[in-house]
């Protein structure tokens, strides 16, 4: 298959793996492997799906980061969405993975739906607007989540709803931004805070970078001395990025490199950025699962679009639910623990019965590790 097979070539993968081994072997004492964090859940998924750990030498240790859009949303936000769907006579639309994430009292949107709430899975936010247009007497709310990748489509539907003059459509906006989370990780890692391990560099997001470009990552290199290599989701992309990171670290360099030049530019998608700036404002602060409250890390609808803001249209009580204290999702999301270090992993918490968000989304570290990575000798 053109444009895919080229990035899954077994021979090239073996050559890249050999080159990584060559560069890494003997460069560090055995107890101090190169530690790279893949920020994005798509990379975590690709690493496990293609069995890349078997190709990497022991000198390379990959740490899974907070880049799963479903995982980083705190329980309070899930509870708020469930509250919206249960308390008001409305239709709540959202992406599929979001429906299975447990909120407080082990309730999820999927369970709320089974109990009678009108919750629908959509493949695209456009479907939610069309639902509102076709059912003018029914309130429709789109539960919007995700990083910069899914934000422009939400901006488009808000403008669409305005152009259509819809009175029955709103967005529960929970879009979050990548650079503030990366900065939080860099600071925590530099200070050894919150268990965040020291990292030698970052595998930078691919789809997010297609929107925001490579420049927002420069702070990692200039202020924290950490190299970043933006790369695609294909296995050869990931291996190439690891090789580039090892080479930078060995040479004592720290710059942002772009392995994914076929989709990412320094400026990113300027049109999408303009659209986001037109529709959204920065929130003062926003809670991330695992990372806590991070200033200016999320978006809300501008006042000019207040008519489409579900938070303004519906009164929501703050959730008092608490995370299961045994669930290590927060530590896993900030790279402080690996999924296998959680006592619930694979026993109480499985994809069929997820306790934490990381076991729900296919991009979550626990789900990827459980579904692809278990071995009978472990």
Partner 1 sequence: MTQRFERSLDIKNGRVDMTHGSGGRAMAQLIDQLFAKAFDNPALAEGNDQARLAIPAAGRLAFSTDSYVISPLFFAGGDIGSLAVHGTVNDVALSGAKPLWLSAGFILEEGFPLADLERIVTSMAKAAQECGVQIVTGDTKVVEKGKADGVFINTAGVGLIAEGVDLSVHNIRAGDAIIVSGTLGDHGVAVMAQREGLVFDEPVLSDSAALNGLIDNMIKSGVAIHALRDPTRGGLATSLNEMARAAGVGMRLNEAAIPVRASVRGVCEILGLDPLYIANEGKLIAFCPVAQAQTLLTAMKGHEHGREAAIIGEVVEDDHAFVEMTTTLGGQRMVDWLAGEQLPRIC
Please identify, using beta-carbon distances, which residue of 23 and 97 lies nearer to partner 1: 97
Separation of alpha carbons 61 and 50, rounded Å: 16
Give ∠ CA 255-257-260 in degrees, rounded to 5: 165
> Under the rule (CB under 8 A), what is the footprint of partner 1?
1, 4, 8, 10, 13-14, 42, 48-55, 69-70, 95-98, 100, 121, 123, 145-147, 149-150, 207-208, 235, 350-352, 361-363, 370-376
Strand partners, 145: 174
Minimal distance, residue 8 CB to partner 1, in Å: 6
Please identify, using beta-carbon distances, which residue of 18 and 164 lies nearer to partner 1: 18
**Which alpha helices (DSSP H) does 10-124 contain, by range?**
10-24, 41-49, 75-87, 109-114
Q: Find the distance separating the first CA and the last CA of the chain, reported in whole Å.
A: 35
* Strand boundaries in the chain, DSSP class E: 34-40, 60-67, 90-94, 118-121, 139-146, 169-175, 201-204, 228-230, 256-258, 280-282, 285-288, 292-295, 299-301
Strand partners, 92: 119, 141
Residue 41's closest CA among 190, 218, 233?
Answer: 233
Minimal distance, residue 320 CB to partner 1, in Å: 28
Minimal distance, residue 205 CB to partner 1, in Å: 9
Please identify, using beta-carbon distances, which residue of 126 and 312 lies nearer to partner 1: 126
Please identify, using beta-carbon distances, which residue of 233 and 314 lies nearer to partner 1: 233
Scan for tokens 């390379």, then name that residue: 60
Minimal distance, residue 146 CB to partner 1, in Å: 6
Minimal distance, residue 72 CB to partner 1, in Å: 12
Please identify, using beta-carbon distances, which residue of 171 and 254 lies nearer to partner 1: 171
Minimal distance, residue 260 CB to partner 1, in Å: 15
Give the strand order in the sheet containing 256-258: 60-67, 34-40, 201-204, 228-230, 256-258
Please identify, using beta-carbon distances, which residue of 207 and 283 lies nearer to partner 1: 207
């Amino acid at each position: 298959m053109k444009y895919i097979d080229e990035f899954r070539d077994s021979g090239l993968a073996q050559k890249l793996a050999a080159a990584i081994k060559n560069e890494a072997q003997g460069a560090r004492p055995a107890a101090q492997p190169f530690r790279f964090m893949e920020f994005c859940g798509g990379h975590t998924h690709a690493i496990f799906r293609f069995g890349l750990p078997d190709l990497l030498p022991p000198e390379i240790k990959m740490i899974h980061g907070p880049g799963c859009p479903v995982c980083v949303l705190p329980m309070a936000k899930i509870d708020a969405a469930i509250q919206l769907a249960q308390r008001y006579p409305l239709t709540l639309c959202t992406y599929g993975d979001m429906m299975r994430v447990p909120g407080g009292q082990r309730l999820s949107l999927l369970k709320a739906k089974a109990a009678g709430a009108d919750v629908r899975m959509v493949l695209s936010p456009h479907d939610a607007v069309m639902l509102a247009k076709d059912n003018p007497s029914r309130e429709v709310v789109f539960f919007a989540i995700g990083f910069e990748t899914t934000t422009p489509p939400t901006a488009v539907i808000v403008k669409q709803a305005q152009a259509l003059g819809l009175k029955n459509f709103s967005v529960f906006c929970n879009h979050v931004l990548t650079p503030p989370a990366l900065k939080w990780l860099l600071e925590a890692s530099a200070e050894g805070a919150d268990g965040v391990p020291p990292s030698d560099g970052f595998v930078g997001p691919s789809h997010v970078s297609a929107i925001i470009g490579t420049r927002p990552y420069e702070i990692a290199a200039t202020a924290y001395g950490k190299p970043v290599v933006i790369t695609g989701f294909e296995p050869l992309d990931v291996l190439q990025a690891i090789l580039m990171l090892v080479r930078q670290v060995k040479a004592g360099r720290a710059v942002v490199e772009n392995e994914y030049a076929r989709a990412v530019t320094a400026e990113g998608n300027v049109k999408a950025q303009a659209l986001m700036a037109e529709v959204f404002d920065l929130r003062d602060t926003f809670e991330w699962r695992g990372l806590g409250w991070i200033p200016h890390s999320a978006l809300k609808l501008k006042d000019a679009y207040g008519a489409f803001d579900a938070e303004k249209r519906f009164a929501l009580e703050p959730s008092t639910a608490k995370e299961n204290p045994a669930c290590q999702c927060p530590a896993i999301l900030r790279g402080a623990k690996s999924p296998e270090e959680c006592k619930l992993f694979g026993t109480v918490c499985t994809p069929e019965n997820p306790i934490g968000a990381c076991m729900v989304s296919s991009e979550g570290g626990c789900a990827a590790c459980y579904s692809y990575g278990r071995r009978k000798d472990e």
